[in-house]
Amino acid sequence: MDTDMPSDPVSVVAWLEAGLVADSYRLTRARHVILTVMATFGHPFTSTELEQAVADTDASIGRASVYRTLTLMESRGVVEKLHQAGIEHYTLCLKSEHHHHVTCVECGRTEEFAVKDNIDLMSAVDGLARRLGYLPRSHVLEVYGVCPLCQESGAGGSDAAPTNGHGAGGRHPLGRRADR
């Protein structure tokens, strides 16, 4: 229990909904469907993908509610907007501590890593700011690479084998142009 996200979609949704109830948001049909779709994606997703998938699940749910739920979840810190290759992606965040993401450029798989497990890195960021005379406030850090599974299946290959929740058909064309 380390690699594969300990919580299945169902319990993730349950947890998200518990949070909503705790803050006296109402538990609606639309929200349930939208959250379920979000939790079922294993990858970051675009708003359009979400819209699509929700429509496929229940055509009666309106566009606006998809965006409303997305925004609500973002404001609750449980969804985060990423900027992958110029395309806005959203991802569920299970970690509540200060963390960042590593994303596989081949398959889109995303993992969270806690800042507390990488103090050296983060103190380096703050140190850099201070060296330039800045009072550090915040930062954005996103790391891209090839995940273990994609390294196995094809030493320079394109798509991962559809195993281990890895499938979903090579979307996420993260053809990074270069470092930034």
Partner DNA sequence: GTTTATACTGATACTAAGTATCATTAGGAT
Partner DNA sequence: ATCCTAATGATACTTAGTATCAGTATAAAC
Query: Contact positions toward DNA, by CB under 7 A?
Result: 21, 24-31, 46-48, 60-65, 67-69, 71, 88
Neighbours of 117 (CB within 10 A): 10
The end-to-end CA distance of the chain, in Å, is 33
67 binds a copy of itself (CB under 8 A): no
> Is the Cβ of residue 21 or residue 121 nearer to a copy of itself in the bound state?
121
> Whole-number minimum distance, CB 111 to DNA, in Å?
23
> Is the Cβ of residue 13 or residue 107 nearer to Zn ion in the bound state?
107
Identify whether the C-beta of residue 5 lies closer than 8 Å to the C-beta of residue 17: no
93 binds Mn ion (CB under 5 A): yes
Which has the closest alpha carbon to 55: 71, 34, 27? 34
Say which DSSP state 42 is in.
S
CA 155/CA 105 separation, integer angstroms: 13
Return the residue of 6, 62, 145, 170 that touches a copy of itself, per CB under 8 A. Answer: 145
> Whole-number minimum distance, CB 129 to a copy of itself, in Å?
5
Binding-site partner at residue 112 among Mn ion, DNA, Zn ion, none, CB < 5 to 8 Å by type: Mn ion
**Alpha carbon distances (Å) from 163 to 31, 69, 141, 167:** 29, 30, 29, 6
Residues that bind Zn ion (CB under 5 A): 104, 106-107, 109, 147, 150
